[in-house]
Amino acid sequence: MAASLTRSLISPLTSRTPAKPSRSDQSPQLLRRRSCVSVRASTFGNTNSSDGAVPAACNVLTQDSPPRRLTSAPVPNSECGGSPLRVAYQGLCGAHSESAALKAYPNCEPVPCDQFETAFEAVEACSVDRAVLPIENSLGGSIHRNYDLLLRHRLHIVGEIKYAVRHCLLANQGVKVEHLKKVLSHPQALAQCEYTLTRLGLVREAVDDTAGAAKHVALEKLEDTGAVASSAAAEIYGLDILAEDIQDASLNVTRFLMLAREPIIAGTDRPFKTSIVFSLEEGPGILHKALAVFAERQINLTKIESRPMRWSSLTSPGVDASGLQKYFHYLFYADFEASMASDDAKMALQDLEKLATSLRILGSYPADTTMP
């Protein structure tokens, strides 16, 4: 546990087929989508060292060079050499996450990864420059896997992006809605479209990602199975769109985090948000006291999430205050509206540190105040 946390503060019905533009009309993003190759977990070795150190392949600084940090200025679309940023996302070409990556870093080179953890590892191994991964959805709630991975890996949150997700019901050309018996998609997408899919009487089957579901339906030429995916996936894999905007609510927004190897320099020139993770001893009112450090300074908490301490160093259940065996240990993830450049935020975390058994700042970064 000591290696994962640090106490340091510095530290949804008419079918249509998408029009096929000529190659000269296609955007660079679409051309990249057609040629991209997914990065798989086996591409990397074990990039996680027990002490959270950055892999040697990333150590491009000389011994006399200071640690390199990102600036707090608007995020560039390319590295210093002029080549576009390589940005990892989970899924195949046509996934909603690819569109989110392009919104976060316009003109970047999106790099598809087969799993969330693969994207984390790609950044750590310097195979990509950034990762853009979902953390919560306005309908489906939190993406718990990525909360756990934030703790397991040593990347920094350097920004956030809110992306309006519009789901479509896709099928092979000629297939009608009444022909479908089953639908494939990512679990979150299926959950976000539960009402429509139930009304249609479709059996739901979860797969790794939305675009992968579309690709499978197309490659296997399935006639009784559809996919819930994006309109971009329909175009890429040659499927018909049987229904658009099938999500249960029109306001279906996913918040994505932008991750990098280096932290951003916190500023006060615009709204900032800070994300932390901490643990507490059990006891009456302890959580109340921990949250009070923010309330006393008029700092707004926008989210708090508890997660089991999966990578705990505890080798036995332990005991609680009553002397009974204790099997459940929790971490608290919190987001608050303040920059680590502000005195109030610094003082709040100093007070929290006195109560916490562990504390780690995951990132202090510009808040996304734009419309999704």
φ/ψ of residue 225, rounded to 5: -130, 135
Neighbours of 134 (CB within 10 A): 25
Q: Is 256 a catalytic residue?
A: yes
Distance (Å, whole) CA 132 – CA 100: 7
Distance (Å, whole) CA 228 – CA 210: 6
Strands (E), the chain: 86-90, 109-113, 130-137, 141-142, 156-164, 168-171, 182-185, 203-206, 225-229, 240-244, 253-260, 272-280, 301-308, 330-336, 356-366
Q: Is 369 a catalytic residue?
A: no
Given the residues 196, 210, 254, 274, the one annotated as active site: 254
Distance (Å, whole) CA 105 – CA 71: 15
Strand pairing of 182-185 and 203-206?
A: parallel
Given the residues 47, 118, 225, 256, the one annotated as active site: 256
Would you say 260 and 130 are in contact if contact means Cβ atoms under 8 Å apart?
yes
- DSSP annotation of 299: P
Catalytic residues: 254, 256
